[in-house]
Structure 1
Amino acid sequence: MLLTNSSEHDGPLAGRTALVTGASRGIGQAVALRLAADGATVAVHYGTDRAGATATLAEIEAAGGGGFVVGAELGVDGDIDALFDGLAVGLAGRPLDILVNNAAAEPAGPIEATTPEQFDRLFAVNVRAPYFIIQRALPLLPAGGRIITLSSVAARMANATQTSFAMTKGAIETMSRTLANELGVRGITVNAVAPGATRTATNGAYFEAPGIENFLAGMTALDRLGEAADIADVVGFLASPDARWITGQVLDASGGLFLGPRI
């Protein structure tokens, strides 16, 4: 189902369009809301949670913004075609100014427990899908376009429970640097954002386990868990004209997670 609306918001992104994958909840939802608040018309993508995406769009519209919903399960055959078929209807001939690759599969566990099926699923959703989404988006992206992909601090710190997940995020960071060098001549910036421990409505139960919040906050320089809005604001900055001279970078948006011992 596709819902459309035009944004009349003023703001740094007024008149621009954005696609946010995995925008039905969590960080993706916060990013969609932030870009819409800044004036962009947002394509709110979902994989399976259509109700969540519709709720995201309703919140955007209630605040005076605009966008449309597009559904496509990533990591399966035909996923990119389905996504861009829906996107084409919503864009109605307009360019795509901002692409945010946020959708990702969850960590599969330590190497002893990871199955080949879980490993393949992680790479299909976290690496293959963003790569081919970017490939299909390139003809739609004008000069001044933005490509922003969500990485993770898991790519810079050792965590035995997230080895395969961290591998996918390392691939994303390499892709972003390489594409930044290639696409700069077109005036397109390519960056990654690496969240740390971030509490959202969907993962809140994990942080309620005894001692977890205090443990993670104690490893974080700013002494608290992140919130989805913390990450969305970083993405909003990279999408804005103010970030025009930043490309090929991984912005750590973890509040300083695991910088070293706090003595």
Structure 2
Amino acid sequence: MTGVLEGKRALVTGASKGLGRAIARALAAEGAHISGVARPSPELDSLAGELGPDFEPWPHDVTGEAVLAAIDAAPPFDILVNNAGTNRPQPFAEVEDEALDLMLGLNVRAPFRIARAVARRMERGAAIIHMTSQMGHVGSPNRTVYCMTKHALEGLSKAMAVELAPAGIRVNCVAPTFVKTPLTETMFADPAFAAFVERMIPMRELATAEQVAAAVVWLASPAAGMITGHSLLIDGGWTAQ
């Protein structure tokens, strides 16, 4: 695709690093103007320097009120990518309330509130994409809260897709397997965990951030104009077993 998002305005949360950074780059490469939300950091500044006028940094916490005020003050968006999220792997019986509240707030409450604010002013042809996970389709040891939050986003997306379809707004999920990012690199330092992931992916390789970003671009583009309420798994066959 070349320039398929020319003139479109996109909001990307968690844009400063990892998947969010790759998604912002990919959307900008197709002509979109990006407002990238992330807490203030050198990474956010460097992305602004890299993408230039195609990128507007929004140094906000996605769980706060400032990002909602910024959405209300900005022109309407054509694309929303709700990418910000986190994980705190723990055995179910040992999950701490602090970790539970953190993940529910960042992985569920924040994307709901941001999508609600953005959708209120979207026009026909707009697209909302929630970044979920293969863990939004299956269960996995030590990930009860993470799985719960990603299943919640999958359900939210389906309900939003049905409700917003008459307005011409599409809502989909992109659900990747593990990708080497700053969030996961400490997990892969554990040889047992790395071996577990390799066993579970029939293709025997991790997804790349660029592969995930390409899926986001496609779902945001006119090529996916009749696709809504769908979850696009990029998991090398993990959930096919």
Counterpart AA for 2:43? G
* Distance in structure 1 (CA, Å) of the matches to 2:80 and 2:71: 12
Residue number among 41, 55, 64 corresponding to 1:67 in the alignment: 55
RMSD: 1.8
What is the DSSP-based 3-state SS (H/G/I as helix, E as strand, rest coil) of the residue aligned with 1:44? strand
Q: Equivalent residue for 1:51? A: 42
Distance of aligned partners of 1:161 and 1:211 in 2 relative to their CA distance in 1, 3 Å threshold: closer
Residue number among 50, 74, 91 corresponding to 1:110 in the alignment: 91
What is the DSSP-based 3-state SS (H/G/I as helix, E as strand, rest coil) of the residue aligned with 2:218? helix
- Residues 1:135 and 2:116 are matched in the alignment: yes
Q: Show the 5 A alignment for 1:85-104.
A: 85-87=69-71, 91=74, 94-104=75-85
Post-superposition offset of 1:212:
4.5
Q: Show the 5 A alignment for 1:73-84.
A: 73-75=61-63, 79=64, 81-84=65-68
Identity %: 33
Post-superposition offset of 1:202:
4.9
Post-superposition offset of 1:231:
0.8
Segment drifting more, 100-109 vs 182-191: 100-109
Post-superposition offset of 1:108:
4.3
Answer whether contact 1:13 1:39 (CA < 8 A) is retained. Answer: yes
Which stretches of structure 1, 4 residues or longer, exceed 6 Å deviation after superposition? none
Counterpart AA for 1:55? S
Q: Show the 5 A alignment for 1:28-39.
A: 28-39=20-31
Q: Show the 5 A alignment for 1:233-252.
A: 233-252=214-233
Question: Unaligned regions of 5+ residues in structure 1, if any?
Answer: 1-9
What is the DSSP-based 3-state SS (H/G/I as helix, E as strand, rest coil) of the residue aligned with 1:105? coil
- How many residue pairs match? The answer is 240
- Residues 1:20 and 2:4 are matched in the alignment: no
* Distance in structure 1 (CA, Å) of the matches to 2:112 and 2:183: 26
Answer whether contact 1:54 1:69 (CA < 8 A) is retained. Answer: yes
Post-superposition offset of 1:141:
1.0
What is the TM-score normalised by the length of structure 1? Answer: 0.85
Post-superposition offset of 1:214:
4.9
* Distance in structure 2 (CA, Å) of the matches to 1:111 and 1:209: 19
Post-superposition offset of 1:112:
1.6
Question: Unaligned regions of 5+ residues in structure 2, if any?
Answer: none
Q: Equivalent residue for 1:148? A: 129
Residue number among 152, 155, 162 corresponding to 2:143 in the alignment: 162
Post-superposition offset of 1:155:
2.1
* Distance in structure 1 (CA, Å) of the matches to 2:116 and 2:193: 39
Answer whether contact 2:77 2:118 (CA < 8 A) is retained. Answer: yes
What is the TM-score normalised by the length of structure 2? Answer: 0.92
